[in-house]
């Protein structure tokens, strides 16, 4: 099993690697198109800023590479947001894998931004969740959110707003939360992605 993690100068790569290691998997961090195309699974991590990340992807030609990958592909947090059509973070055109925009949180004063902490998922019957039972608590840290759309397979509520927690279209998955920081639920989802999708 060859797992490639997209290198694009975004954070949280090490924490995802450590989480995979705990599950018994190794992953290679790379921005080499050949290695990304030949991997069995690709993970697109991210903690950072949309326009800077997209500039790096375009500079390396990875924007065209990633959208044409055919193996299971998982975006995390900023990684998921970059898979959408557009981000309000510096008005950035993103990869367009999912035809849905990324919006900045505008919430009543009592709700802090960034949204940070544990929230539950309201999820569909997608195979990604096949090993989850009962209430699923996941850890979020983000100031922007993905609107609910046709590819949404799980949602989360923060204040008055329901937003996308997980996206799925064809071989592409995206999690707004951090599975590598989401304890047993996150470990279960990573294991399902690597072993079964």
- Give the pLDDT confidence of 61-89 residue by residue, as tens digits: 999 999 999 999 999 999 999 999 999 99
Please state, for a pLDDT cut of 90, what percent of the chain lies above it: 94
How confident is the model over 122-136, as a mean pLDDT?
Answer: 96
Closest CA to 164 of 87, 100, 113: 100
pLDDT at 180: 96
Q: pTM of the predicted model, to two decimals?
A: 0.97
Average of per-residue pLDDT across 119-124:
97
Distance, CA of 38 to CA of 21 (rounded, Å): 21
How many other CB atoms sit within 10 Å of the CB of residue 184?
A: 10
Q: Which residues are catalytic?
A: 77, 178, 180
Let me know: does 13 contact 29? Beta carbons within 8 Å: yes
pLDDT of residue 47: 87
Q: Write down the pLDDT at residue 10.
A: 78
Q: What does the pLDDT look like over 89-117, one tens digit per residue?
A: 999 999 999 999 999 999 999 999 999 99
pLDDT at residue 164 greater than cutoff 80: yes
CA-to-CA separations, 126 to 43, 69, 138, 190, 193, in angstroms, rounded:
19, 21, 17, 14, 12
| pLDDT for 11 | 72
What is residue 117's predicted lDDT score, i.e. its pLDDT?
97
Mean residue pLDDT of the chain comes to: 96
Q: Which domains does the chain have, with CATH numbers?
A: 3-196 (3.40.50.880)
């Amino acid at each position: 099993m060859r797992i490639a993690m997209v290198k694009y100068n975004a954070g949280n790569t090490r924490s995802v690697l450590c989480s995979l290691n705990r599950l018994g998997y190794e992953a290679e961090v790379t921005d080499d198109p050949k290695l990304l195309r030949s991997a069995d699974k690709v993970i697109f991590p991210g903690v950072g800023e949309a326009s800077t990340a997209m500039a790096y992807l375009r500079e390396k030609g990875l924007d065209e590479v990633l959208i044409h990958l055919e193996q299971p592909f998982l975006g995390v947090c900023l990684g998921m947001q970059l898979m959408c059509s557009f981000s309000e973070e510096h008005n950035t055109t993103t990869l367009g894998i999912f035809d849905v925009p990324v919006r900045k949180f505008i919430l009543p004063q009592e709700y802090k931004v960034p949204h940070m902490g544990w929230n539950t998922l309201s999820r569909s019957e997608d195979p990604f969740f096949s090993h989850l039972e009962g209430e699923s608590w996941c850890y979020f840290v983000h100031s922007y959110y993905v609107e609910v759309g046709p590819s949404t397979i799980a949602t989360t509520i923060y204040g008055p707003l329901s937003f996308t927690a997980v996206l799925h279209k064809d071989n592409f998955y995206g999690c707004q939360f951090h599975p590598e920081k989401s304890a047993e639920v996150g470990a279960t989802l990573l294991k399902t992605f690597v072993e079964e999708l």
